[in-house]
Chains A and B, each alone.
Chain A
C-alpha cells in the first residue's frame, strides 16, 4: 500500500482485499474483550474536517483511539480556517505539530491530493470525502459489509449484483463504490433519473437503468444514496414526492427484494425521501452494521498506513 489513501484507484485488487482481510482479523482480535490495542501508541492523527460530518469523523476518531493513537480534531468552524487560512498554512501547522496522519474532508474535489502531492507535510493523507470526487473508506466498509453478510467474509465479490440508486451525480460514495465493487468483480447497476447521472456515464463500465422496479428482484444489494440537497443549486427533479415515488425505497419495493438482499445507505438518511422508515428499519437493512464495520475498516487503513516505517 502506498503512503496515502486518496482514491480507490490508488489500490489494486490485492491491496483492497488486504485491507478487508486486515479489518476481518481486527474484528476477531477485538470481539472478545479488547477495546484498545497498543499498536499506534505515540502516533498523532489529525481529523481535518472542512465540511460537516458526524459518522465519518466519529468513526475515524474511534478507530484511531482503539489503536491508541492521539487524535486531534480540527474542524473548519471555530478554527483559523474560518478566518481564511489557506490549506498550505494549515498543512505547515500540522507538520510542525508532528502529525503522522491527516484524515481530511473537504468540499473541493482534489483537496486531499493537493495536500499529499505538495510535500507541505510528511504524514499520510487519508481522504474522508472530497467534494463530489471520492470517499474511499466508505466504499471499503460497504464492500466489507457485503462480504461479511453474503460471502462468508472471504474472497472477492464476484457474482454479486449490486444496485446503486439515487443521486449519483453528486455522490463521492457512488464513485468510490463503483471503482471498488467493479475491481472486486461485482456487477454494478446505477439507477437514477437522467438529471442525476454524470454526462459521461457510458464510459464507466456499469449498467444504467431509469426504472427501479424492473430488475429489483435480481439484486443482492441495494445501495441507496442520499439526495444531496446542499449541493443542488438547480432543480434536478420536479418534486420530492415524485422522486420518492420513482426512486425511493418504499415498503412496496422492499417486498420485491430477494429474501437475503441487503439494503445499504451511507448515511445520513433522508427518511421518507430516498428511503422509507420501514425500509431503513427492516431486516434487510444493514445500515447500523455499516457504521460498526466502518470503525474496523478505518482501523485497518490506519494500521496499514501508519504502523510501519514509511519507505
Chain B
C-alpha cells in the first residue's frame, strides 16, 4: 500500500477545485453541491465551506444516494441505502456540481444523472472528483479533478477522510504488474 495524497495534498486540491468551480460558474449564485455518500458527501461539505469562505455567503449543499438507480444491483447482494438530502430550493435551473471521491467506471455518475432527473431539470450538471483513476466504461468525464491517477484494474484506490476515518489520505493497494495488459 502506498500513499498517493497526504492531508495537505487533499486540502490544496480541494482549494483549487473550489476556485475552479467559482470561476466556471461566475460565483456561487445558483450553485448546488451534491455529494455522493459517503466520502463524496464529506468532500462536498468541505468544498461548500471553502466556497463559502471565498464568496462570503453559504453555498447550497446536499447529498444524493445513487444506489436505487444502479445498473448492477442484480449482480451483488443488496446494498445499503444512504441518505439523500436535496436542498429545499430544489435543483431546477441551477448549476449542479456532483462531488465524489473516486471516478472509475463512471457507472455511479450515470446513476446519479438518472437520480437527478427525478428531482428536477438542472441548468447544468458538472462533476468534481478527488481522484480520477481511469478505466471508464461510459462516456463520462470529470470537470474538476483533484488528481489524475493512472491505475490498473487490479488495484484499489482508497480515500480516507478525517470526519469518517480519522485521517485524511489517498492510498493505492494491490499489484501494478498483474493488471497491465
The answer to whether the Cβ of B68 comes within 8 Å of any Cβ in the partner chain is: yes
**13 other A-B residue contacts (CB within 8 Å) besides A25-B83, A25-B84:** A22-B81, A26-B81, A28-B85, A29-B68, A32-B86, A32-B119, A38-B68, A39-B69, A303-B78, A305-B78, A308-B74, A308-B78, A311-B77
- Offer 23 A-B interface pairs, CB within 8 angstroms, sorted by A: A21-B80, A22-B80, A22-B81, A25-B65, A25-B82, A25-B84, A26-B68, A28-B84, A29-B65, A29-B68, A29-B81, A32-B90, A33-B118, A33-B119, A38-B69, A303-B78, A305-B78, A307-B73, A307-B74, A308-B73, A308-B77, A309-B74, A309-B77
- CA gap between A307 and B79 in the complex, in Å: 8
- Contact count band on B: 20 to 34
CA distance A106 to B158 in the complex (A): 50
A92 at the interface (CB under 8 A from B): no
Most buried by A among B73, B76, B86: B73
A1, A18, A32, A304, most chain B CB atoms within 10 A: A32
A37 in the interface (beta carbon within 8 A): yes
> What's the nearest-Cβ distance from chain B to residue A37, in Å?
5
Which one of B68, B69, B86, B114 has the greatest number of beta carbons of chain A within 10 Å?
Answer: B68
Total CB contacts across the A-B interface at under 8 A: 56
Given A32-B86, A32-B119, A307-B74, also A37-B69 (CB < 8 A): yes
Q: Are B84 and A29 in contact (CB under 8 A)?
A: yes
Per the bound structure, the CA–CA distance linking A37 and B78 in Å amounts to: 16
Shortest Cβ distance from B114 into A: residue: A38
Docked pose: A32 CA to B118 CA in angstroms: 9
Are the CB atoms of A308 and B118 closer together than 8 Å? no
Q: Which 9 A-B pairs have the closest CB atoms?
A: A25-B81, A308-B78, A34-B118, A308-B77, A29-B84, A39-B68, A307-B73, A37-B68, A304-B78
What's the least CB distance linking A65 to chain B, in Å?
Answer: 14
Which residue on B lies nearest to A303, using beta carbons? B78
Chain B residues close to A by CB (< 8 Å)? 65, 68-69, 73-86, 90, 114, 118-120
Whether A309 touches B75, Cβ cut-off 8 Å, given contacts A25-B83, A32-B119, A33-B119, is: yes
- Residues of A with C-beta under 8 A to B81: 21-22, 25-26, 29, 303
Determine which of B78, B90, B119 lies in contact with A34 in the assembled complex, contact meaning CB atoms within 8 Å: B119
Note all chain A residues with C-beta closer than 8 A to B69. Answer: 37-39
B residues less than 8 Å from A32 (CB atoms)? 86, 90, 119
Return the CB mask of A15-28 against B: 1 if under 8 Å, else 0.
00010011001101
Given known pairs A33-B120, A307-B73, the reply for A28 and B83 (CB within 8 Å) is yes
Q: How far is the CB of A126 from chain B (nearest CB, A)?
A: 14
